[in-house]
């Protein structure tokens, strides 16, 4: 699975993250960052699969859910990663927002090149 290493100050969904400020976790000389699993969420998640607590967060923060592994320390001082669900608005790349580019890759049609003999 694709993971994106991120610190809170550069994260696009930090504003709605319940663990905002946890990354980077500094342990000695080591800096441990959050891991955003599968990249930022781009499509809304169906509320029918969410419990009451998550539905409330979805309604408050946005329809899309991003899974994040947030670094924390356990009782022995070892680094562990806590799974956190972060709700936000869809995070789209600038090229996806452009009106000149088709919204979906499926809309792109390959063009055949014909060669003529000179």
* Tens of pLDDT, residue by residue, the chain (118 residues): 678 898 999 999 999 999 998 889 998 898 999 999 988 888 999 999 999 999 999 999 999 999 999 999 999 989 999 999 999 999 876 666 666 555 555 555 555 555 556 5
Which are the contacts of 64, defined by CB distance < 8 A and separation ≥ 6? Answer: 41, 42, 43, 44, 45, 87, 88, 89, 90, 91
Q: What is the pLDDT of residues 93-118, one digit of tens each?
A: 666 666 655 555 555 555 555 555 65
Q: C-alpha distances in angstroms, 11 versus 8, 36, 88, 98, 118?
A: 5, 10, 12, 22, 55
């Amino acid at each position: 699975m694709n993971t994106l290493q991120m610190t809170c100050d550069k994260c696009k969904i930090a504003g709605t993250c319940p663990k905002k400020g946890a990354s980077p976790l500094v342990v000695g000389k080591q800096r441990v960052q959050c891991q955003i699993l599968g990249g930022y969420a781009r499509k809304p998640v169906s509320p029918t699969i969410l419990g009451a607590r998550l539905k409330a967060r979805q309604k408050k923060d946005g329809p899309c859910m991003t899974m994040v592994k947030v670094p924390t320390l356990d009782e022995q001082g070892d680094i562990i990663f806590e799974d956190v669900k972060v709700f936000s608005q869809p995070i789209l790349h600038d090229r996806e927002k452009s009106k000149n580019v088709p919204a979906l890759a499926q809309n792109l049609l390959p063009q055949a090149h014909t060669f003529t003999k000179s």
